[in-house]
Amino acid sequence: MTERSLVLVKPDGFARGLSGEVLRRIEAKGYRLVALAVTTPDRDRLSQHYAEHEGKPFYEPLLEFMSSGPVTAAVIEGERCIEGFRSLAGKTDPTEALPGTIRGDLGRDWGEKVQKNLVHGSDSSESSAREIAIWFPDLG
Ligand code: DAT
Ligand code: MG
């Protein structure tokens, strides 16, 4: 099966009306949308999604931020789309993210405990499978 990745437009991006811009860039790159949803995630879903970060100083602010409002969740598909979307997103720190990337063009540092950097993308095939099961349990 063609590679899939889980993409989120985080509450900051959703609130700024950037879901369409993010999806536009994904489609312009040539990846295909497989599933799409708007939802406000609860703590239980987020603690599963961000399990690898439990105990880190930004963990609680991250869960607080991510549960603060709606997100757009998408499953995208295409050869090497995991790596490809990470490339579209840019570096985690929006100040360091290069112009041309989503975080570099549209994001900035707001001086908070958690970086609000507009998007999430799976970082490996293992996390992609795990995350798709969390956000789209019916996809199989
Ligand atoms: P990414 O989203 O680029 O995969 P990550 O998985 O390391 O980054 O971290 C998850 C999110 O947590 C990230 O998008 C923003 C926030 N974050 C990560 N490291 C941080 C830090 N050192 N300070 C503040 N927020 C951070
Ligand atoms: Mg990550």
DSSP string across 67-86: TSS-EEEEEEESTTHHHHHH
Q: How many Cβ atoms from other residues are within 10 Å of residue 37's Cβ? A: 12
The answer, as to whether pTM is greater than 0.95, is yes
pLDDT tens digit string along 97-126? 999 999 999 999 999 999 999 999 999 999
Domain boundaries, the chain: 2-139
The minimum-distance atom of ligand 1 relative to the CA of 89 is 3
The closest ligand to the CA of 59 turns out to be 1
Contact 3, 78 (CB under 8 A): yes
Residues 2-139, CATH architecture: 2-Layer Sandwich (3.30)
Q: Is the CB of 2 under 6 A from ligand 1?
A: no
Can you give the length of the chain in residues?
140
User: What residues act catalytically?
Assistant: 120
The Cα 100–Cα 55 span in angstroms is 33
Identify the pLDDT of residue 140.
Answer: 72
